[in-house]
Chains A and B, each alone.
Chain A
Amino acid sequence: MANEVVDHGRRRFLTATTAVVGGVGVVAAAVPFIKSWEPSARAKAAGAPVTQSLKKVESGQQLIVAWRSLPVFIVNRTPAQLAALPKQDPRLVDPKSNGSSADQQPKYAQNETRSIKPEWLVMIGICTHLGCVPNYVGEMKPEPFDPDWQGGYYCPCHHSRYDMAGRVYQGVPAPKNMQIPPYHYVDDTTVQIGVDPKGAA
């Protein structure tokens, strides 16, 4: 054995192929471990759609339901609140939700009221600044933070303000309008959050 001539080319080839095959094996073996960090089936199930009846939500009231553990605001907006919406446009960052906030709602909610039915606002109640939950300040009366308050949301963390359609005002830290989740109406008084309407993608 010791006297045989060493075939270096063959040795290099064997070393390289062993290393490559071993490397592929390591990568393949890593896949299950990395995938194990994905949201589990149980977490995804908890992220399943939420169905909510609207029958008992009076005009001007807000209901908070949890969807994917996120607070979802459901508001029955009053005619006065709705009438005030267009008047806010000059003070907003993205009134038509087609600029920086273009991805903050499904296409079917990209309108003046940011909703399917004008009076019903369905929105994820998370401030777009650092993820706090803004307070619902629905009454149209002068507030310390805005003498001309027309109803909306006020974030206690860094004082971001939104109107009654979750559209962010200018001059506050939050960059975008609050997010509208996918949702649709199962019937006239029942809404399902987490599923788009049929035909809309």
Chain B
Amino acid sequence: MANAFVRWFDERAPGMAPMYRKHMTEYYAPKNFNLWYYFGSLAILVLVNQIVTGIFLTMNYDPSAAGAFDSVQYIMRDVEWGWLIRYMHTTGASLFFVVVFLHMFRGIMYGSFKKPRELVWVLGMLIFLVLMAEAFMGYVLPWGNMSFWGAKVIVSLFGTIPVIGGHLVEWIMGDFLPADSTLNRFFALHVIALPLVLLLLVVLHLAALHEVGSNNPDGVDVKHGPKGNRWDALKPADGIPFHPYYTLKDLVGVGVFLIVAAFIIFFAPTFGGWFLEHDNSIAANNLLTPAQIKPVWYFTAFYAIVRMVPSFAGTAVWGVIAMFGSIAVLFALPWIDVGPVKSIRYRGTGYKVGLTVFVIAFLSLMLIGTDLTDVLFPKLFGADIDLTTWDNVFGRIMTLAYFGFFVFLWLYTHLGWEKTKPVPERVTTHD
């Protein structure tokens, strides 16, 4: 009976079984994946979580300026298990960025963006960009006071563009302030348009990856190594089938991740105001600004860059250009870092120092963006220091360090300053 059905199906869709084999049981991934390789599959897990919980949230959410805030409170209090579904969605949003940041760092550290995987990297960066838009618009939907003022400040960034800026802001909001029309269009983009784009990009990201094969912590290409493994005489000796080997390995990662996520969802869903901001428990009020407007933690590094670049020639657009530049420069990474050695394990000391400085700069910009420096600096240097000046000096140094990493990397690899170590022929853990 089952066999008859499989045969019936196979005759009508003969391409399905080979496609499954190509991407699962006969996709030979390097055998030396380490902890850093969990985050790709975890990102898919979170994406599925966001889609499922998101669909159920829309069933009770009211996308109107008059009803949005109350409908979220309704979900939290009156809908059975509504609080869990919403906390899974909000916690998922923050964990999405945790996972994606680590996934991107893995790619930088092991040179996974380098030839022949440039397209994989660029598609991944597009995913990151869409994810940021998705997160921002989702943040506006509860229509709390932080949603409202966050939307106002972020959309106002476009107002700094000379000539068209003012009109552009009205066009994005569909009104003179964030209003019903703004909320409605953000809802449409958040639940339909951007998720569709996101799913398409994820499929392309994986398709592009499976075309060239996965990189690994040694940065050696198993496709160019010796052939022949237990399953196939023509396939890489250092490759193992993705299924069942890496599906089972990833399942361990999923287990650990779910324990962490469940702990946050049940015991610290707002994460002390980091995942859900306290001021957002107050309904949107266009006449009352929250005492402090700052973005959610995952945007803070980029937002800090806006604040650190001063106005010049009568316009504040430079900060906005620098912020978009800080993301654009990541797109160009495959053409900035052209060093032939991929993995940090065999790269020059200069690269290791540079990457460390980059990580410090990124984390420091996060500190500034979250205003934690306003707490930290008086403790370190005394209560009577001029915070604005300290913030600016520290932040500008770190902004320069952020961009400096890419300038250094370009010079370092294009001018041949890098002294690399010998790269092994095969992955170091082969038998």
What residues of chain A have their CB less than 8 Å away from a CB belonging to chain B?
Answer: 37-40, 43, 46-47, 64, 66, 68-71, 100, 127, 130-133, 156-157, 173, 175
Contact partner of A43 (CB less than 8 A), chosen from B176, B311, B316, is B176
Contact partner of A37 (CB less than 8 A), chosen from B185, B287, B290, is B185
A133, B289: Cβ atoms closer than 8 Å: yes
Residues of the A chain whose Cβ atoms lie less than 8 Å from the Cβ of B153: 130-131
B413 within 8 A of A: no
Closest CB in chain B relative to A174 CB, distance in Å: 12
A39, B176: Cβ atoms closer than 8 Å: yes
Chain A's closest residue to B153 (CB) is A130
Residues of the B chain whose Cβ atoms lie less than 8 Å from the Cβ of A173: 388
Among B104-112, B167-175, B403-411, the stretch in contact with A: B167-175
B292 within 8 A of A: yes
Closest CB in chain B relative to A15 CB, distance in Å: 27
What residues of chain B have their CB less than 8 Å away from a CB belonging to chain A?
Answer: 149, 152-153, 156, 170-177, 179, 181, 185, 286-293, 311, 314, 316, 388
Closest CB in chain B relative to A60 CB, distance in Å: 21
Instruction: Give A138 to B152 CA distance when docked, in angstroms.
Output: 28
B289, A69: Cβ atoms closer than 8 Å: no
Contact partner of B289 (CB less than 8 A), chosen from A66, A68, A156, is A156
Contact partner of A69 (CB less than 8 A), chosen from B286, B292, B316, is B286
Q: Say yes or no: A38-B170 contact (C-beta < 8 A), given A69-B179, A157-B292.
A: yes
Instruction: Give A184 to B293 CA distance when docked, in angstroms.
Output: 34
A157, B293: Cβ atoms closer than 8 Å: yes
A69, B288: Cβ atoms closer than 8 Å: no
List 29 A-B residue pairs with CB atoms under 8 Å apart, sorted by A's residue number: A37-B172, A38-B171, A38-B174, A39-B170, A39-B174, A43-B181, A47-B176, A66-B287, A68-B176, A68-B177, A69-B177, A69-B179, A70-B177, A70-B286, A71-B287, A127-B289, A130-B156, A131-B156, A132-B149, A132-B289, A133-B287, A133-B288, A156-B289, A156-B291, A157-B289, A157-B291, A173-B388, A175-B311, A175-B316
Q: Say yes or no: A40-B176 contact (C-beta < 8 A), given A131-B152, A175-B311.
A: no
Interface of B is mostly: loop
Chain A's closest residue to B167 (CB) is A38
B174, A40: Cβ atoms closer than 8 Å: yes
Chain B's closest residue to A126 (CB) is B289
A43, B293: Cβ atoms closer than 8 Å: no
Chain B's closest residue to A158 (CB) is B292
Residues of the A chain whose Cβ atoms lie less than 8 Å from the Cβ of B290: 157
Closest CB in chain A relative to B153 CB, distance in Å: 6
Closest CB in chain A relative to B180 CB, distance in Å: 8
Residues of the B chain whose Cβ atoms lie less than 8 Å from the Cβ of A71: 286-287
A37, B314: Cβ atoms closer than 8 Å: no
Instruction: Give A66 to B287 CA distance when docked, in angstroms.
Output: 9
B177, A37: Cβ atoms closer than 8 Å: no
Contact partner of A100 (CB less than 8 A), chosen from B291, B293, B314, is B314
B289, A43: Cβ atoms closer than 8 Å: no
Beyond A43-B175, A100-B314, 19 additional contacts (C-beta under 8 Å) are: A37-B185, A38-B171, A38-B174, A39-B174, A39-B181, A40-B181, A43-B179, A66-B287, A68-B177, A71-B287, A130-B153, A131-B149, A131-B152, A131-B153, A131-B156, A131-B289, A156-B291, A157-B291, A157-B293
B176, A37: Cβ atoms closer than 8 Å: no
Instruction: Give A142 to B71 CA distance when docked, in angstroms.
Output: 46
Residues of the A chain whose Cβ atoms lie less than 8 Å from the Cβ of B287: 64, 66, 71, 133
Instruction: Give A133 to B288 CA distance when docked, in angstroms.
Output: 6
Residues of the A chain whose Cβ atoms lie less than 8 Å from the Cβ of B388: 173
Instruction: Give A70 to B286 CA distance when docked, in angstroms.
Output: 7
Closest CB in chain B relative to A181 CB, distance in Å: 11
The 5 A-B pairs with the shortest beta carbon distances in the complex, nearest first, are A132-B289, A68-B176, A43-B175, A69-B177, A71-B287
Closest CB in chain A relative to B41 CB, distance in Å: 37
Closest CB in chain B relative to A46 CB, distance in Å: 8
Residues of the A chain whose Cβ atoms lie less than 8 Å from the Cβ of B171: 37-38
Instruction: Give A157 to B288 CA distance when docked, in angstroms.
Output: 11
Instruction: Give A132 to B286 CA distance when docked, in angstroms.
Output: 9
Residues of the B chain whose Cβ atoms lie less than 8 Å from the Cβ of A43: 174-176, 179, 181
Residues of the A chain whose Cβ atoms lie less than 8 Å from the Cβ of B286: 69-71
Instruction: Give A173 to B156 CA distance when docked, in angstroms.
Output: 17
A69, B174: Cβ atoms closer than 8 Å: no
Residues of the A chain whose Cβ atoms lie less than 8 Å from the Cβ of B170: 38-39
Residues of the A chain whose Cβ atoms lie less than 8 Å from the Cβ of B293: 130, 132, 157
Instruction: Give A70 to B176 CA distance when docked, in angstroms.
Output: 8
Chain B's closest residue to A132 (CB) is B289
Chain A's closest residue to B149 (CB) is A131
Residues of the B chain whose Cβ atoms lie less than 8 Å from the Cβ of A131: 149, 152-153, 156, 289
Chain B's closest residue to A157 (CB) is B289
Residues of the B chain whose Cβ atoms lie less than 8 Å from the Cβ of A64: 287
Chain B's closest residue to A43 (CB) is B175
A69, B176: Cβ atoms closer than 8 Å: yes
A69, B311: Cβ atoms closer than 8 Å: no
Residues of the B chain whose Cβ atoms lie less than 8 Å from the Cβ of A47: 176
